[in-house]
Amino acid sequence: MERPVRFEHTRFLGDKRTQLVYDLDDCDDEEIIAEIVDQEVGLCFGPDTLAEARNRGYRLARPGQRARHRTPRA
C-alpha cells in the first residue's frame, strides 16, 4: 500500500475516533486509511513506534476489526 501524502514518513497511523493504530507497512485496507486522511482524524507518533502508540492509549488494529467511532478530543 502506498502511504498517504501527509503521512509519507510515518509507519504507524492512529485514528483519533477509535483509538486504533494502523501499521501502514502491513495494512491492506486502503479505504480506512483514506477515510482517516479525508476526515483529518489521523495522528502520527514520535518516535514512530508501536510502543509509543500504546503509551498514548492506542491499540493495534487487526484485519476486519471495527471499533465504535467517538468524537476526537482535538
From first to last of its 74 residues, what are the pLDDT tens digits of the chain? 788 888 999 999 999 999 999 999 998 888 999 999 999 999 999 999 999 999 999 999 987 766 666 676 66
**Residue in this structure with the C-alpha cell 479505504, named with its chain if needed:** 31
pLDDT at 12: 96
Residue 65 domain-assigned (yes or no): no
The total of other beta-carbon atoms located within 10 Å of residue 36's CB is 22
pLDDT of residue 28: 84
Domain assignment of residue 44, given as a range? 5-60
Model pTM above 0.75: yes
In a domain? residue 72: no
Question: Would you say residue 71 lies in a domain?
Answer: no
Following DSSP, what letter does each residue of the chain receive, concatenated? -PPPGGGTT-SEEEETTTTEEEETTT---HHHHHHHHHTT-EEE-SS-SHHHHHHTT-EE--TT----------
Count how many domains the chain has. Answer: 1
Is 42 contained in some domain? yes
Looking at residue 67, its pLDDT comes to 67
Structural domain includes residue 74: no
Supply the pLDDT for residue 51. Answer: 96
Residue 49 lies in a domain: yes
Distances (CA, A) of 42 to 14, 34, 35, 66: 6, 10, 9, 16
